[in-house]
Structure 1
Amino acid sequence: MAAAAVGGVGALEITSRMPHTTTVDPLSNTTQVPSLCQMCTTACGIIGHIANGRLVKITGNRLDPNSQGAVCGKGVAGPSVLYDPFRLLYPLKRVGERGSGRWRRISWDEAYDEIAGRLREIRERGRPEEFAFQQGRNRSTDIISRFLNAYGTPSQFNHRALCSSNRRAAIATTIGESDWDLGDFEHSNYVLNFGCNWAEAHQGHIPVAIRMMRARQNGAKLVTFETRLSNTAALSDEWFCVKPGTDGLIALAMANVICRENLWDRPWLEAWSNYPPDKIAEYVAQYTPAYAERESGVPATTIERIAREFAAAAPRCTTICNRGSQSHRNGYYNDRAITMLNALVGNMGKRGGWCWHPQSAWDKKAIPEPNPIPPKPTTRSIIAEAKDWPLANAFGSQMKVAEVIYLWIKERRQKVSALMTYNADTAWSWPEAHLVREVLRDETLIPFHVCIDVMYSETAHLADIILPWTTYLERWDIDARPPQGLVDYVGLRQPVVAPRGQSKDVRDIFPELARRVGGGMEKYFPWRTTEEYLEEYFRPVPGGFAAMRTRGIWIDPAKKPRYEPHTKPLTADQLAGATEDPHTGIIYKGADSKTGQPAAIGIRVGGVARRGFLTPSRKVEIHSDFIVNKGKAAGREVNPLPVYDPIVSHQRDFPDGQLIMTSYKINVHNAHRTMQSKWLQEISHTNPALLNRATAGKLGIRDGDWIELTSFRPRDAAVPMGDGSKLGTLRTRCASPKAFTRW
């Protein structure tokens, strides 16, 4: 399909057919190269097996503490992307109208000169924010951030708002120090799952699945609330089909039962909650199981029973949630309510309980980025600051509300003179994709567009210059993911084979662009090669870069699993020169580098000066003044407590033929990054609509029938373009799984 989409001058030059080779036995002697997968976000450790310079198979790296030698179907299919005959292998420049599909092959020097010239002109005008950078799954964060910061643009966007912003913001609000929860599933006795399909598509897919199945083998109970009968639901002891967006209400109703029946851990709450237990009980009294039954479809008696079971299993119980609970208009509140359940039963940080780790990557204090480090941009960016969304950038880990930027560019809220898209097929996979295509096509809105990607895509089709990017099997990265074993690690992604054609790693592209843009940018890239840079980066690791190339993974053997970090006593050195607030017990020392206010370093609990949580109160914040104040600053009302905020467009009677549609992922596909894999397409190449049999019967639809599906924007004034208007129509086949039940 990629070749068919590309017409005109030089079209054949973007393809390179799979080279002829003799048959290689994958089980014969091969050279083994450790690296890291990137067929999804989990970044499992892998081993590439090379024969005669060709990758013949991929297996797991047993040294990876997260995946422990396992690899999924997507990971095994890596060679099908590496050797895809329709890969981009040479730089291209359009020669027709934008979107016409007419291209000319150019040299890298020509591409560099034109891009650098455009960027230099913008920067020398003193408007670096007019260069916008839109990234998808970025695992080369160090080099890309270095380039963008050296350039001085704050207009940097990722896909997080479409992925996990609500969940991350809910956790950051509650405990402050992390935007990732890491249930200690392997040691848990009871797991409540709110809409997480960990058996197929969780952010920690294989690492979570390994530990969850060990827990099941050890007798742990798993209860799943999810709209679809997923593989995760099938592996659960109990599955409840819930109405979309009601997970938070179920959690609040369970909190009602736990408080009402004194099933909570009151001493823990009194020590570590910033909101008194009795006030919590008074607040959740409104969320009765009967109310939750009416809204969610889960029987009130079931909610009561499960709440009692969950509390009885404490502290070796935990929750897990993901897009099923948080990818809704009310997802932030849903996940705050779910997080609160853990605080109520006192399992936070406990073995077998709800845990977390401050490192969503490697320990960057122990293994810092080499100097010189460019300063953060000081210019303002309307589209990056996202003032309409008060919690978008409220926490240390920025949420980047990037799915609205194309609307804002169309509305000319901010001028964009150049856009660079990187590993992000926004014109195909983004909400309001037709709007994205409209904006990308309009040269008055975006005069210059550079696309960096492995494959020709809908977004590349609307670019001015396309730069061929290496696959993850041909490039370098420093990488790691949140440690499921609560001990951080660092990994090396390295080329298992040489880059095909003239494709290049961004670690080659951005330093060269910086040198050509000039103006001082070049001083932040003093290394001649990526290997030289990595030599410096891995100097703190025993054995350095050479050891990383051999093993692929390093873990500090002195580190232990990070249970209950909030209870760690402050040392005498930390307390030297500190002051303590006699009313709150909060301990201060020095000043906050951002606000200039006294910096909190801990809190006195039980007569001991402890580290505490990294919230303003140094406690678990069931009630958050911080987010209220952030909302006020943006002219928005944010509730300080977890609430059930019904989805407006769901609160009506639907006429015949109108239904609530939800989406999901399966185990062999991951957004746009696997669509070009022939191997994975052979496993699953259809996208059917799953429909309840009773509903299908009313509509006269049978299994396999073709249907026309029309979607509408929500009727919600608080949502951009929330006018209920028609959005789009598609044709697909329909399936009606027998196991589906009505809400």
Structure 2
Amino acid sequence: MRAPSDGWRLSRRDLFKIGALAAAAVGGVGAIEITTRLAADAGTAEGLPRATSAIPSLCQMCTTACGIIGHIADGRLLKITGNPVDPNSQGAVCAKGVAGPSVLYDPFRMLYPLKRVGERGSGRWRRITWDEAYDEMATKLREIRERGKPEEFAFQQGRNRSSDIVARFLNAYGTPSHFNHRALCSANRRAAIATTIGESDWDLGDYENSAYVLNFGCNWAEAHQGHIPVAIRMMRAREKGAKLVTFETRMSNTAALSDEWFCVKPGTDGLIALAMANVICREGLWDREWLESWSNYAPDKIAEHVAQYTPARAEQESGVPAATIERIAREFAAAAPRATTICNRGSQGHRNGYYNDRAITMLNALVGSMGKPGGWCWHPLSAWDKKAIPEPKPVPAGPTARSVIAEAKDWPLANAFAGKMKVAEIVYLWIKEGRQKISALMTYNADTAWSWPEAQLVRGVLRDEKLIPFHVCIDVMYSETAHLADMILPWATYLERWDIDSRPAQGLVDYVGLRQPVVPPRGESKDIREIFPEIARRVGGGMAEYFPWKTTEEYLEEYFRPVPGGFAHMKANGIWMDQTKKPHYEPYNKPLTAEDLDGSTEDAATGIIHKGVDSKTGAPTAIGIRIDGVALRGFLTPSRKVEIYSDFVVQKGKAVDREVHPLPVYEPIPSHQREFPDDHLIMTSYKINVHNAHRTMQSKWLQEISHTNPALLNRATAVKLGIHDGDWIEVTSFRPLDAAVPMGDGSKMGTLRTRVRLTEGVHPMVIAIAHNAGRSVGGAYATNGTDTSDNPGYGAISDPDLDRLWWRGAISVPQNDILPIYPDPVTGGQSYHDTVVQIRKV
């Protein structure tokens, strides 16, 4: 089978028609019903408005952390609106944010500490007191620590917006076994950016001022880390005439908003970018002057390297016509420097994702748009300015013990940069293989038994008391992971707790935000800011000295002291931003001052300026570079320039006997390099626009809007297989046929049954399934009515809406059960879009 040709290019008018139909399809009666009921809730029995208060806070229904305002009457949250003070979201809030009250008041929430009384997975629990829970946890953790094995206590986090208190607790305890989910999110993309510019792992793009945006698999209209803040700026740019071109295997909402959409074969994004680079170099469309100053690789050498990636070659692999690639490359270069790329999970979630995103990033260097207004920009801070607003002391030092799993040394770039990129998908496999002993596991807002690749393997490890003798789960909802715990601690929702938080600044000026309770916690739920200090005091051994504050408010009072107006300002406004700061344009061009240069030395051959030595390595510390006779800050790469060629990553690869290419390259995905039978396809995944993390499926409001995830199949492919719309099919997945990845033997992995939805909006070689579905526990709303268990942790269930659950029994399948562990060999980023499957009508 070959990728589609130019017949698969849709015009902007066509895309807007389809997008409007898609929006109507997901709107449903639910959206109208929600609005009506909110209005009714806002009044008294006499119909008069109730007295309300407005409390600013920060959302956590997804990772974007938009500023919100909770509207309260009689101690009850009525509705959520956006906080206009937030410089990122600017008063906007999405469907997930609006649905916050439905999670807060979910009748199936965990409200009391529970202890297992039956076998793991039996669902048998007894309610315990917090004192009992604290004492048992402290006893277990103290024993591990006192025998000198702190690394045997592992902490697995999901979306962690309380990084200060988590790090404080784990470092005070001394464990390095802190596992995040970075490899399941954005490791390839972050590593590609850090390789190229050094000083950040998060590109932002000055989208609002852009004239041309090349989008490689980024679905910012539905499910991007910067979702609403990015969408606001993109649409403003579109209103001013900016052109948006999208390359994606599925017609997402973002594709529907684009001027042009090209349905590409999975994993070929980088090849398309390299072919565009070929055109830009061959036709002299580059900014040669900028490259000669700021690239560590000569322009002519770049041209020589990309000469092999012709548009004709890219057409053969990706399906995008060569003439189209040439035209778009010319348009992009002509729009520079007000031109930028944007990419995300669609380009980086592949076995070759690191190289894909390096190639895409390079396009911005070629046309000289890096750091320019309207161009490809970044901010050095992924959160607030922690030098200006530091964590209150005393702060514990990092652990001295080692963790085989956290270090993930099989992947050369997994932890090569400042932002740790631990290889999440191998945690449970390595525990099963005995690579590291775990005596106690704490899972926090991380439903690994449902959301991890090879979720059945994860469940098997969590069930095995020899592999994990003690498991504590901290979460809002009962979940597949909680179901396999020994103890469950009811976590407060984001609407009931405190946090200091912010996200990468889309306006290129950092800010800080406060998440504060808009209502008191329900039941006996608590936040980790209350849980961890108490465990520390009971474990003893000096841990308590790092938690001298009596309350979280006292801690935040100290934290926000550097902010004008302090904690009081934050509680009243929710956000603070230093208005004297300017947008972070062209930071590499910042001149070094006489004070900077005092006592410095300069390398005559490279122009790199050093001052002092690195305290860890003893090597001279670079502070800048001399360009055209001027001492400038430069980039924070080893060469202080944009690293098109990276010797750093080559050396990292050699250290673990794995080749890492110094230049952006196209590496075909091994499992895709064969002629597929008609019934073999490439399975991709995506996020539904109203769902994100595991808790959104607990929301009755969001589930009513979208509660099913049928497999999307191209009509032409369905005709070949005799499949009709709505048919049931069996999907069997295979592990990758790839010696460079764990279990890469091509064997069968798993099978699920689902229904088919036929569409023109997916590549003929692809079957696409949303992974935001398929719960088996967690209450009636999370499971479409299939979970009828009487769990004591739910509290008293009294909800008249249960009788209105009209979508009861709707098909919802757990895609992660058949998604194999498949890390990119360079960074360990999970390959979400590369699994080969066989489909069969049943």
Name the TM-score class by shorter chain: over 0.9
CA deviation digits over 1:178-198, x for unaligned, max 9?
Answer: 000011000000000000011
Question: CA RMSD of the aligned region, Å?
Answer: 1.1
CA deviation digits over 1:608-658, x for unaligned, max 9?
Answer: 111000000000000001111111111211111111011001111111211
Contact kept? 2:61, 2:693, Cα under 8 Å: no
The residue aligned with 1:691 is 713
Identity %: 83
Contact kept? 1:715, 1:723, Cα under 8 Å: yes
The residue aligned with 1:616 is 638
CA distance in 1, matches of 2:515, 2:539: 28
CA distance in 2, matches of 1:395, 1:594: 15
The residue aligned with 1:7 is none
The residue aligned with 1:518 is 540
Equivalences for residues 4-19 of structure 1 within 5 A: none
Q: When the two structures are superposed, what TM-score results if normalisation uses the length of structure 1?
A: 0.96
Equivalences for residues 440-589 of structure 1 within 5 A: 440-589=462-611
Equivalences for residues 61-140 of structure 1 within 5 A: 61-140=83-162
Residues 465/656 of structure 1: CA separation in 2 closer, same or farther (3 Å cut): same
Q: Does 1:736 align with 2:753?
A: no
Contact kept? 2:250, 2:763, Cα under 8 Å: no
Amino acid at match of 1:297: G
Q: Does 1:288 align with 2:304?
A: no
Contact kept? 1:357, 1:486, Cα under 8 Å: yes
The size of the alignment, in residue pairs, is 723
The residue aligned with 1:24 is 41
The residue aligned with 2:444 is 422
What secondary structure sits across from 2:275 in the alignment? helix
What secondary structure sits across from 1:473 in the alignment? coil
CA distance in 2, matches of 1:694, 1:111: 57
Amino acid at match of 1:728: G
Q: Does 1:266 align with 2:278?
A: no
Match of 1:719 among 725, 730, 741: 741
Match of 1:431 among 438, 441, 453: 453
Contact kept? 2:103, 2:695, Cα under 8 Å: no
Question: How much has 1:264 moved relative to structure 2?
Answer: 0.3
The residue aligned with 1:50 is 72
Residues 330/402 of structure 1: CA separation in 2 closer, same or farther (3 Å cut): same
Contact kept? 1:589, 1:599, Cα under 8 Å: yes
Segment of structure 1 superposing worse, 649-658 or 223-232: 649-658
Amino acid at match of 1:39: M
Q: Does 1:652 align with 2:670?
A: no
CA deviation digits over 1:657-699, x for unaligned, max 9?
Answer: 1101111112100031211111000000010111000011111
Amino acid at match of 2:593: T
Equivalences for residues 391-402 of structure 1 within 5 A: 391-402=413-424
CA distance in 2, matches of 1:534, 1:101: 38
What secondary structure sits across from 2:469 in the alignment? coil
What secondary structure sits across from 2:717 in the alignment? helix
What secondary structure sits across from 2:635 in the alignment? coil
Segment of structure 1 superposing worse, 145-154 or 721-730: 721-730
Question: How much has 1:706 moved relative to structure 2?
Answer: 1.7
Contact kept? 1:24, 1:51, Cα under 8 Å: no
What secondary structure sits across from 1:58 in the alignment? strand
CA distance in 2, matches of 1:454, 1:652: 45
Amino acid at match of 2:396: P
Contact kept? 2:264, 2:763, Cα under 8 Å: no
Equivalences for residues 187-336 of structure 1 within 5 A: 187-336=209-358
Amino acid at match of 2:172: A
What secondary structure sits across from 1:233 in the alignment? helix
CA distance in 2, matches of 1:659, 1:625: 37
Amino acid at match of 1:571: T
Amino acid at match of 2:42: D
Contact kept? 1:669, 1:675, Cα under 8 Å: yes
Amino acid at match of 1:59: T
What secondary structure sits across from 2:63 in the alignment? coil
Contact kept? 2:203, 2:376, Cα under 8 Å: yes
Question: How much has 1:36 moved relative to structure 2?
Answer: 0.3
CA distance in 1, matches of 2:668, 2:521: 51
Question: How much has 1:704 moved relative to structure 2?
Answer: 1.5
Amino acid at match of 1:153: T
Question: How much has 1:593 moved relative to structure 2?
Answer: 2.4
Contact kept? 1:199, 1:231, Cα under 8 Å: yes
Segment of structure 1 superposing worse, 456-465 or 725-734: 725-734
The residue aligned with 1:385 is 407
Question: How much has 1:738 moved relative to structure 2?
Answer: 3.6
CA distance in 2, matches of 1:256, 1:627: 23
What secondary structure sits across from 2:681 in the alignment? coil
The residue aligned with 1:3 is none
CA distance in 1, matches of 2:688, 2:532: 34
Amino acid at match of 2:577: I
CA distance in 2, matches of 1:529, 1:591: 40
Segment of structure 1 superposing worse, 214-223 or 728-737: 728-737
- Stretches of structure 2 that go unaligned for 5 or more consecutive residues are 1-37, 44-48, 766-842
CA distance in 2, matches of 1:265, 1:85: 59
Contact kept? 2:42, 2:50, Cα under 8 Å: yes
Amino acid at match of 2:713: L
CA distance in 2, matches of 1:359, 1:143: 19
CA distance in 2, matches of 1:147, 1:571: 40
Contact kept? 1:46, 1:61, Cα under 8 Å: yes
CA distance in 2, matches of 1:742, 1:349: 38
What secondary structure sits across from 1:474 in the alignment? coil
What secondary structure sits across from 1:646 in the alignment? coil
Question: How much has 1:24 moved relative to structure 2?
Answer: 2.8
CA distance in 2, matches of 1:24, 1:405: 46
Amino acid at match of 2:367: V
CA distance in 2, matches of 1:628, 1:516: 47
Residues 91/741 of structure 1: CA separation in 2 closer, same or farther (3 Å cut): closer
CA distance in 1, matches of 2:168, 2:761: 51
CA distance in 2, matches of 1:328, 1:126: 40
CA distance in 1, matches of 2:678, 2:304: 41
The residue aligned with 1:144 is 166
Question: How much has 1:739 moved relative to structure 2?
Answer: 4.4
Contact kept? 1:164, 1:323, Cα under 8 Å: yes
Structure 1 outlier segments of 4+, above 2 Å: 21-24, 26-29, 738-743
What secondary structure sits across from 1:48 in the alignment? strand
Contact kept? 2:248, 2:261, Cα under 8 Å: yes
Question: How much has 1:595 moved relative to structure 2?
Answer: 1.2
CA distance in 2, matches of 1:305, 1:54: 57
Question: How much has 1:29 moved relative to structure 2?
Answer: 3.5
Contact kept? 1:334, 1:642, Cα under 8 Å: yes
Question: How much has 1:709 moved relative to structure 2?
Answer: 1.4
Amino acid at match of 1:118: K
Amino acid at match of 1:289: P
CA deviation digits over 1:475-498, x for unaligned, max 9?
Answer: 000000000000000000000000
Q: When the two structures are superposed, what TM-score results if normalisation uses the length of structure 2?
A: 0.85
The residue aligned with 2:18 is none
- Stretches of structure 1 that go unaligned for 5 or more consecutive residues are 1-20
Question: How much has 1:742 moved relative to structure 2?
Answer: 4.1
